[in-house]
Amino acid sequence: MRSLIKFENEENNITTKIEYVQCDSRRNPESIWGDLVQAIKELKTDKYKEGLALSFDNLVKRMICFDGYSNQICEGSDWIDYYIYVWYEDSTIVMKGFSKEHYYSGIVDYENRYITLSVNEGNCIDDFLIRGIKPQLDNINDMVDSIKSRLSERQIAVEYHSTGCYEKDFTQISMIKRFAQKIVDNCNTQLERISEFYTKLN
pLDDT tens-digit series, residues 136-153: 999 999 999 989 999 999
Block means of pLDDT (10 residues each) for the chain, 202 residues, are: 90 88 88 93 74 83 92 81 90 91 85 81 85 92 92 91 90 94 95 78 54
Residue 95 and residue 125 share a domain: no
- Among 132, 156, 147, 32, CA closest to 83: 32
Residue 158 and residue 112 share a domain: no
Owning domain of residue 89: 1-118
The residue among 118, 153, 173 that closes a domain is 118
Residue 152 and residue 111 share a domain: no
Residue 76 and residue 13 share a domain: yes
Residue 88 and residue 7 share a domain: yes
Residue 8 and residue 106 share a domain: yes
Residue 20 and residue 106 share a domain: yes
Answer yes or no: pTM beyond 0.85. Answer: no
pLDDT score recorded for residue 39: 92
Question: What gap in Å lies between CA 167 and CA 103, rounded to an integer?
Answer: 13
pLDDT score recorded for residue 101: 86
E-assigned strands of 32-176?
A: 69-70, 82-88, 92-99, 110-115
E-assigned strands of 80-152?
A: 82-88, 92-99, 110-115
pLDDT score recorded for residue 178: 93
Residue 126 and residue 108 share a domain: no
| Chain-centre distance for alpha carbon 147 | 18
Q: How many domains does the chain have?
A: 2
